[in-house]
Amino acid sequence: MELTNINQEIHAASQRLRKSADALFGLGKAKAEAERDYRLALAQEILRLRAEKVPISIITDIAKGNVADSLFQRDFAEAQFRAGTEAIEAIKTQVSALQTILKYQTDV
């Protein structure tokens, strides 16, 4: 690999890293909103079931089943956030490898 190509790849990877950080902020916000929405829906459902005199021992299980869509959205947002952080780590690893190659090439 030529030094120019390595420098270009490092620059491109750092640009992707910058964009990924911005995207991760959005994913983090979506994750937090999904968590909030799930907790609100669950609390409302628990209150509704209590008002209907459902036995307390099974309210939580029934409520979670009734708000399963909110739970799915929360879990999906969490998975997206984790995937985003893993993508950033992959780009960091790529930059590190390119820097090692660049150092090796300049030393030779």
Domain boundary assignment for the chain: 3-107
pTM for this model (two decimals): 0.80
pLDDT tens digits, 27-63: 999 999 999 999 999 999 999 999 999 999 999 999 9
pLDDT tens digits, 2-33: 878 888 888 899 899 999 989 999 999 999 99
Q: What is the C-alpha to C-alpha distance for residues 81 and 87, in angstroms, rounded to an integer?
A: 10
State yes or no: pLDDT of 108 exceeds 90. Answer: no
User: Average pLDDT, stretch 73-77?
Assistant: 97
pLDDT of residue 102: 85
State yes or no: pLDDT of 88 exceeds 70. Answer: yes
State yes or no: pLDDT of 107 exceeds 90. Answer: no
Under the banding of pLDDT at 50, 70 and 90, the label for residue 1 is: low
